[in-house]
């Protein structure tokens, strides 16, 4: 009798070998793309190192250990198939340039490297699952920008959409729907890539979806998949079905029409009607659109009335009230810090905490403008790292060395110089151990001597 566990393990081995081959092809076929950029794209920075070039004064040689990276994913049970991009280019300029509040004033002292999440790899996994071809265009950052990693533009040519994603904490993902195509077959993705976050948000949810990452990769991937599909894949009728010729009866609505009626995002409306589908299949039918002539799924007038009544009882947030996810993006601070500060005021000011529908129609906890002012005030008093102090994470990026090699050197000095190790808040309010400039200097000198 076949052993299921053996079959599963054998399948994982085949997948690991296939992905290893694909990633090596990605590196070989894109010589103009820096190896460090590919490591960042995959979330493989821990496996990206500088190796001995074989003599003093020679140009450093960088290496990405693809085999070990894939083995690590397999051990963590995070191994998923990956489709390679049809195109991978550099030099797209600044993608999603900073708003006024995202520009560093002065010399930038005290700013700290934020946590990195491999959202680009998660996005590739989603696109692979959806069988959507894509191309990647990477940009640059300027010295006055708070973020250290560039946004990447994922163009999805078969459905004319654009995904703007950055792996650095505190940066929302933007999905632009319905890119325009010129007479030469070129899309206008660069127009949107050159917009700030504020400008992208101003285009409205029908044109641009905004996805906040809450440190749960599975939830983020599910929402990204829904937003990419939103208004496109689900509404199209399968080619295998015989298209109906009957026009939609009066009072029946498509998801687009119903979303417009209740002034809510399509994903929220889709989630609202879903529980009624099994018990009331007659409420969901395919008809030809009365004015557009295309075939779409329509909802029965009874279901339309139910949804309208649901949203009549739910209120949108008043002006100035915000959810935690929005504050995380606006204030460039962690959601954990924001919630911790907010909770201090709950007992004295319960009226500062209310449930409203957020901007896409989800029922969500909102903070009063006065509470937001208190959060901002307290954040301004928290102690940030003095200039020159660095975290292990920042040194990994700067020196292109492994965490283990840097930490091993640092620990040798802890007993003799405990004052070289201090806990400070970084820019987003996360408490992290920082290393004194003298210790940073020692680490750099030791690593330089090794090469």
DSSP for 138-201, please give it: E----TTBS-SSPPEEEEETTTTEEEEE--BTT--EEEE----B-TTS-B-HHHHHTS-HHHHH
Q: How many CB atoms lie within 10 A of CB 180?
A: 10
Rounded CA gap, 258 and 252, in Å? 9
The pLDDT assigned to 438 comes to 94
- pLDDT mean across residues, the chain: 81
Structure tokens, 61: 């040689």
The pLDDT assigned to 283 comes to 93
Residue among 212, 103, 198 at smallest CA distance from 147: 103
Asked whether residue 439 carries a pLDDT value surpassing 90, the answer given is: yes
The pLDDT assigned to 6 comes to 39
Rounded CA gap, 102 and 114, in Å? 14
Asked whether residue 188 carries a pLDDT value surpassing 90, the answer given is: no
Report pLDDT digits (tens) over 300-340: 999 999 999 888 878 888 889 998 878 877 776 777 778 88
Asked whether residue 95 carries a pLDDT value surpassing 70, the answer given is: yes
Residue 243, Ramachandran bin (φ over 0: left; ψ between -120 and 50: alpha; else beta):
beta
Instruction: Mean pLDDT check: name the lowest of 46-60, 120-134, 275-289, 330-344.
Output: 46-60
Task: Give the mean pLDDT of 374-389.
Answer: 82
Please check whether residue 39 is in contact with residue 48, taking contact to mean a CB–CB distance below 8 angstroms.
Answer: yes
| 114, burial (CB in 10 Å: exposed 0-12, middle 13-18, buried 19+) | buried
Q: In percent, how much of the chain has pLDDT > 70?
A: 83
Rounded CA gap, 250 and 291, in Å? 12
Q: Could you say which DSSP state residue 386 is in?
A: P
The pLDDT assigned to 62 comes to 75
The pLDDT assigned to 368 comes to 94
Tell me, rounded to whole angstroms, the distance of Cα 88 from its chain centroid. 19
Task: Give the mean pLDDT of 207-220.
Answer: 82
The model carries a pTM of 0.52
Instruction: Mean pLDDT check: name the lowest of 66-75, 89-98, 164-173, 237-246.
Output: 237-246
Please check whether residue 296 is in contact with residue 246, taking contact to mean a CB–CB distance below 8 angstroms.
Answer: no
Q: Where are the domains of the chain?
A: 1-79, 83-233, 255-312, 324-380, 392-450
Which residue carries 């990419």 as its tokens? 228
Instruction: Mean pLDDT check: name the lowest of 27-36, 208-217, 230-239, 366-375.
Output: 230-239
Rounded CA gap, 195 and 189, in Å? 10
Q: In percent, how much of the chain has pLDDT > 90?
A: 22
Phi, psi of 398, rounded to the nearest 5 degrees: -70, -45
Rounded CA gap, 231 and 234, in Å? 7
The pLDDT assigned to 417 comes to 93
DSSP for 30-92, please give it: -TTS-HHHHHHHHT-GGGEEEE--SSTTPPPEEEE-HHHHHHHHHHTT-----PPPSEEE---
The pLDDT assigned to 79 comes to 83
The pLDDT assigned to 238 comes to 44
Task: Give the mean pLDDT of 281-292.
Answer: 83
Report pLDDT digits (tens) over 139-186: 888 777 778 889 999 999 888 899 999 988 888 899 999 888 776 677
């Amino acid at each position: 009798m076949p052993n299921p566990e053996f079959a599963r393990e054998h399948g994982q081995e085949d997948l690991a070998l296939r992905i290893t081959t694909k990633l090596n092809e990605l590196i070989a076929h894109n010589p103009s793309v820096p190896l460090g950029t590919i490591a960042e794209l995959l979330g493989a920075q821990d496996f990206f190192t500088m190796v001995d070039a074989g003599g003093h004064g020679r140009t450093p040689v960088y290496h990405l250990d693809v085999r070990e990276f894939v083995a690590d994913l397999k051990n963590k049970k995070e191994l998923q198939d990956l489709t390679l991009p049809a195109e991978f280019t550099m030099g797209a300029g600044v993608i999603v340039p900073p708003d006024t509040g995202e520009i560093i004033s002065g010399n930038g002292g005290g700013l700290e490297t934020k946590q990195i999440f491999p959202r680009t790899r998660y996005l590739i996994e989603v696109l692979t699952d959806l069988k959507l071809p894509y191309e990647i265009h990477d940009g640059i950052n300027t010295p006055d920008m708070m973020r250290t990693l560039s946004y990447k533009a994922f163009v999805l040519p078969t459905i004319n959409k654009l995904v703007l994603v950055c792996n650095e904490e505190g940066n929302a993902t933007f999905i632009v729907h319905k890119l325009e195509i010129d007479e030469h077959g070129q899309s206008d993705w660069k127009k949107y890539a050159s917009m700030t976050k504020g400008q992208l948000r101003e285009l409205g949810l029908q044109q641009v979806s905004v996805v906040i990452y809450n440190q749960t990769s599975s939830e983020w991937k599910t929402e990204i998949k829904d937003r990419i599909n939103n208004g496109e894949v689900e509404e199209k009728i399968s080619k295998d079905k015989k298209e109906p010729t009957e026009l939609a009866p009066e009072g029946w609505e498509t998801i687009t029409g119903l979303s417009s009626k209740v002034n809510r995002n399509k994903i929220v409306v889709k989630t609202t009607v879903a529980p009624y589908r099994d018990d009331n299949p007659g409420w969901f039918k395919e008809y030809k659109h009365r004015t557009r002539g295309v075939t779409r799924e329509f909802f029965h007038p009874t279901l339309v009335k139910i949804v309208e009544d649901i949203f009549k009882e739910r209120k949108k947030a008043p002006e100035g009230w915000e959810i935690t996810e929005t504050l995380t993006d606006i204030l460039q601070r962690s959601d954990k810090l924001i919630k911790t500060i907010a909770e201090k005021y709950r007992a004295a000011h319960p009226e500062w905490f209310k449930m409203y529908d957020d901007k896409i129609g989800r029922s969500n906890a909102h903070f009063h403008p006065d509470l937001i002012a208190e959060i901002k005030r307290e954040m301004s008093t928290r102690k940030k790292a003095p200039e020159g102090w660095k975290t292990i994470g920042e040194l990994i990026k700067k020196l292109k060395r492994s965490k283990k090699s840097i930490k091993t050197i640092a620990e040798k000095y802890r007993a003799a110089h405990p004052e070289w190790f201090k806990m400070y808040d970084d820019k987003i309010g996360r408490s992290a151990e920082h290393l004194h400039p003298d210790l940073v200097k020692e680490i750099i000198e030791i690593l330089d001597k090794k090469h």
